[in-house]
Structure 1
Amino acid sequence: MRIVDLFSGAGGLTFGFYYHKENNRFIRNDNCNIIFANEYDRAAAATFRMNFPDINMINQDIKELTEEQVRGLIGEEEVDLIIGGPPCQSYSTIGRRVYDDKAKLYNEYYRMLSIIRPKMFLFENVRGMLSMKDEKGNFVIDNIQNMFANINDELGYTIVYDTIDAVNYGVPQHRERVFIIGIRNDLDIEWDFENLNIEDEQLTLEQAISDLPHINSGEEIHEYGDCLPENDYQRLMRGENENLTAHFLAKYGEKIQTIMNHVIQGEGKDYINGLVDQGILEERYRLTSGYKNTYGRLYADQPCTTITNNMSTPSGLRCIHYEQNRALTPREGARIQSFPDWFQFTGNKREIKTQIGNAVPPLLALKFAEQLEEILG
């Protein structure tokens, strides 16, 4: 397949097409040729280049990609597939939703379809996109369906979409995202989300990260030490990797550390305030802001909740380690997203966490790649 990768981020969706899984190892997929990728964010583009050095990464605003430039990048041969979805922050139901320039980037996707004319496309975004409206009160998903169905007199795409939870596809977290499949209307191709290969069992958080070394406030650890992989998922994630990266924690203050020391699995803000009410904790530890699962400790024997760019912030949504009194490290977040340990992230600590939190889980991407490769050859 000849593929164009838009809004690529660090490369989570890319990973599923660049590799396939064989004998519990990631092997290069020679049937997928990613012609070029485009990403606006400098740090994410640098991470992409580090991990996919043979893919032509165009690090610039998609609005500045000219038709001449794109045609020069793809050449004369037909493109089979465009993958990627615009940034999701504007559509997210967490925080302030606004129909801003980022929310309108599906117009650039439309423009790329009109130039590249791929056989199919795969578009991913947060579930909140389905309820998002434009300034006229029209649902964004309806805009996409109507616009993409009739790009010009000759070209249009039939669209099907569904909400997919990554936990059903080998990823150890609940992560619901909308996936849109577009099929060029001159092709006799059908897509059925039910054909994606669902895994028999869901992985728990403990199964995903229990082999990563113990870490304390303010530390950064680069070696596994005596920690050995305990199951097939951990062995897949390690591969032949020897040196850990992105396994670091911020330095916690006394109040935050005390709160983490006392919260139990499945509990958070309300539990801590209950301890204050009972006199077990002093009044100064009362939590007066945030959501119900602020300072929430994760369950060991359940899949993780959705990984976000606040995975290492105890005062964010549930992200406290099920056993140790700390938040998750970025490497643990990457594990939970199904990035292997040898996948490296570049940038400052905030940028690294953002790249991980925004990514499509590679193992979920791999499921889509398998099905699309079967259809497109």
Structure 2
Amino acid sequence: MHFQENKIKAVDFFCSGGGMSCGMVQAGIDVVAGVDFDLSCKQTYETNIVGAEFICADISQLEETYLENKLQLKRNDDNLLLIGCSPCQFWSIIKTDKKKSKKSKDLLKEFRRFVEYFNPGHVVVENVPGVLQKQKESGLEEFILWLRNNGFAVHADIHEVSNYGVPQHRKRFTLIANRLTTKELQPVQRNGKKITVRDVLGEQNGFAQVSQGHKDKSEFMHSVAGLNELNLERLNLTPHNGGTRMAYVHDERLAPSCHYGNTESFKDIYGRMFWDKPSPTITTKFFSFSNGRFGHPEENRALSIREGATLQSFPKTYKFIGNSTANIARMIGNAVPPTYARAIGKAITQNYDKWQNLKQEQEL
């Protein structure tokens, strides 16, 4: 494996379908490998992150020396960036079944093992906000302490991705650690108005009007889930551009039984998105009308696979390869939005370039 000198090279742990890697490449970083235990992501990852190798492994079973030899990595390498966006359901503040996700709770500690071994120039951790609220239990507090004690300047905070050019509301915990300078690096913010659903979806942006159940066999994947008669009727009554289930909340036949007469909670369920706002958080169930405000602003259907990917800020040329719609939607919904990843990457490359220039001046 040949690395360019004076260029940051990255290994992306828990890489999934490559959202973080995609943004890092856009920022000018050479992503050499992605590590994930889900083999179904391999084709998508290697097709889009050109030149990077997908290493299918359970991090708890992965040896530091294996990675060192396989990727010809060096320890204490100022050019190396290690990224860890571990699956985060256990630390999510959303009430989910924690038994299923319990095995993911120590993944940050496993990632730390590689950081301690390689001592790279930069480290990135991206996760749900809940990991910060439970930083003692998740191992985050201890990890940050270790980084600071070992000469890293550490930024660790929660960021709203719509401030960085992503057409979606999504709060994420982000840690950027930098060993090369004393500067605490933050994702590079985008100036100007927030990007909205109208800016990226609709016919003017290449999304033809389609009906529920539409199957698109091309790589564009403008495919839409089917709807039953009842949901079609509900959508028909839901006002365009941000309408909600309030349109039929007092209709005993149409209102879902658990929401009948309830005008206070879960207003987004069965709702339409607004044209002129960023979308709600794109989850792994974004293609299902009944799982959130995932109704199209005016067409009587849920989001298509490509629309969900676009709201996650994936390039329209990004190829998703999977064995089912649910598998691909999971890759998209779980991804770090590439445009946000690029904002993180830009902070790192700008810092690295300044450091390089300073080094060269000192050598003169």
- TM class by shorter chain equals 0.7 to 0.9
In structure 2, do the counterparts of structure 1 residues 110 and 141 end up closer, same or farther at CA, with 3 Å as the change threshold?
closer
Match of 1:84 in 2: 84
Shift in Å, 1:369: 1.4
SS of aligned partner of 1:101: helix
CA gap of 1:103–1:345, structure 2 versus 1, over 3 A, is same
Aligned match of 1:208? 200
Partner residue of 2:116? 114
The answer to whether 1:273 aligns with 2:249 is yes
8 Å contact 2:154–2:185 — kept in the other structure? no
Q: Following superposition of structure 1 onto structure 2, how do residues 309-320 of structure 1 map, counting pairs within 5 Å?
A: 309-320=284-295
Amino-acid identity (%): 28
Give the TM-score, by structure 1 length: 0.81
In structure 2, how many angstroms separate the alpha carbons of the residues matched to 1:17 and 1:38? Answer: 15
Give 1:289's aligned amino acid: C
TM-score (norm 2): 0.84
In the TM superposition, residue 140 of structure 1 has moved relative to its aligned partner by 4.8
Aligned-residue offset at 1:367: 1.5
Deviations 1:91-135 (A, max 9, x none): 22223263722021001111111222111101101112222366x
Q: Does 1:5 align with 2:7?
A: no
Matched with 2:104 is 102
Match of 1:129 among 124, 131, 144: 131
Q: Write the distance in 2 (CA, Å) between the matches of 1:214 and 1:130.
A: 42
Q: Is the 8 A contact 1:13 1:362 kept in 2?
A: yes
Structure 1 residue 149, shift from structure 2 partner = 4.5
Tell me which moved more, 342-351 or 42-51.
42-51
Match of 2:256 in 1: 287
Per the TM alignment, residue 253 of structure 1 is displaced from its structure 2 partner at its CA by 0.8
Mapped contact 1:35–1:73 kept (Cα < 8 A): no
**Please, which of 301, 326, 346 is the counterpart of residue 370 of structure 1?**
346
* Structure 2 unpaired stretches of 5+: 1-7, 260-265, 354-364
Partner Cα separation in structure 1 for residue 223 and residue 268 of structure 2:
23
User: Secondary structure of the residue that 2:253 maps to in structure 1?
Assistant: helix
* Structure 1 residues 133 and 57, CA gap change in structure 2 (3 angstroms): same
The separation in 2 between residues aligned to 1:289 and 1:181, in whole angstroms, is 43
2:197 counterpart of 1:190: no
Letter of the structure 2 residue corresponding to residue 288 of structure 1: S
Mapped contact 2:152–2:182 kept (Cα < 8 A): no
Amino acid in the other structure paired with 1:108: E
Structure 1, unaligned stretches of length 5 or more?
A: 21-28, 223-242, 277-282
Aligned to 2:5: none
Partner of 1:237: none
Distance 1:144 1:169 in 2: 26
Distance 1:76 1:44 in 2: 23
> Structure 1's 69 and 140: CA in aligned 2 closer, same or farther, altered over 3 A?
closer
Alpha-carbon offset, residue 362 of structure 1: 1.1
Residues 1:199 and 2:196 are matched in the alignment: no
- Structural RMSD (CA): 2.1
Matches of 1:148 and 1:90, distance apart in 2? 24
Give the CA deviation at 1:47.
0.9
d(CA) in 2 for partners of 1:76 and 1:269?
Answer: 54
Cα separation, 1, equivalents of 2:73 and 2:19: 28
State the shift of 1:168 in Å: 1.4
When you count helix as a share of all residues, which structure comes out higher?
2
Which residue identity does 1:218 align to in structure 2?
A: G
Deviation at 1:258, TM superposition (A): 0.8
Contact 1:5 1:34 (C-alpha < 8 Å) held by counterparts: yes
Q: Residue type of the partner of 2:90?
A: S
Using the alignment, how far apart are the partners of 2:97 and 2:145 within structure 1?
23
Cα distance change of structure 1 residues 60 and 213 upon mapping to structure 2, 3 Å threshold: same
Q: Alpha carbons of 1:112 and 1:140: their partners in 2 closer, same or farther (altered >3 Å)? A: closer
SS of 2:249 mapped into structure 1: helix
Evaluate the alpha carbon distance shift between residue 256 and residue 49 of structure 1 in structure 2; reply closer, same or farther with a 3 A threshold. same
Amino acid across the alignment from 2:115: L
Displacement of 1:299 after TM fit? 0.7
The answer on 1:350 being equivalent to 2:322 is: no
Cross-structure match for 1:225: none
The 3-state SS of whatever aligns with 2:126 is: strand
User: Does the aligned pair in 2 maintain the 1:269–1:287 contact within 8 Å?
Assistant: no
Aligned residues: 330
